[in-house]
Amino acid sequence: MWADRRGAAAIEMAFSLPILLLLVSGIVTYGGWFLCAHSVQQAANEAARAAVGGLDPTERAALVRTALDANIRKTGALKPDQMNALVDDDGRTVTVRLSYDASNDPLLSIKLVPPPSKVIERSATVTLSAP
């Protein structure tokens, strides 16, 4: 009835530790991806909002670039040289499309879980005037 239970905890840990490591690795990898994706979306939102103050398409594009540069530096999670921005201005709306290459992000290079997309694309649109 009183069997020898020495080593039972080591065996239980040998079975549960790999699962726990995979779980933690997934949390770190996808948490880092969500941080980057949210930061890119917020940068697009702020840049689009800044465009509202411009009087013409050239001024709006300059305001978008300035706001985008300031926001990227402020976040600390994004690298400016890996961000591509496209500004569409049709006179009624301004759309800011951002594409961020996260392939060099150290949190996304953990190979224990299937990685999310390395390119994060987000956009934001604001209306300049009412009809």
Question: What integer best gives the mean pLDDT of the chain?
Answer: 90
Segment 47-61 mean pLDDT: 92
Residue 101 clears pLDDT 60, i.e. is over it: yes
Residue 77 clears pLDDT 90, i.e. is over it: no
Among 1-5, 64-68, 81-85, 123-127, the minimum mean pLDDT is found in 1-5
Segment 102-112 mean pLDDT: 83
Structure-model confidence comparison of residues 40 and 12, the more confident one: 40
Percent of the chain with pLDDT over 90: 62
| Residues 94, 119, 61: CA angle, nearest 5 degrees | 25
Give the Å distances, CA to CA, from 69 to 38, 52, 56, 66, 124: 16, 17, 20, 5, 16
Residue 130 clears pLDDT 80, i.e. is over it: no
Residue 97 clears pLDDT 60, i.e. is over it: yes
pLDDT, residue 8, reads 83
pLDDT, residue 54, reads 87
54's tokens? 């411009």
Segment 22-50 mean pLDDT: 94
44's tokens? 């697009």
Between CA 105 and CA 38 the distance in angstroms is 15
pLDDT, residue 42, reads 95
Q: In this structure, what are the phi and psi dihedrals at residue 97, rounded to the nearest 5 degrees?
A: -110, 125
pLDDT, residue 114, reads 87
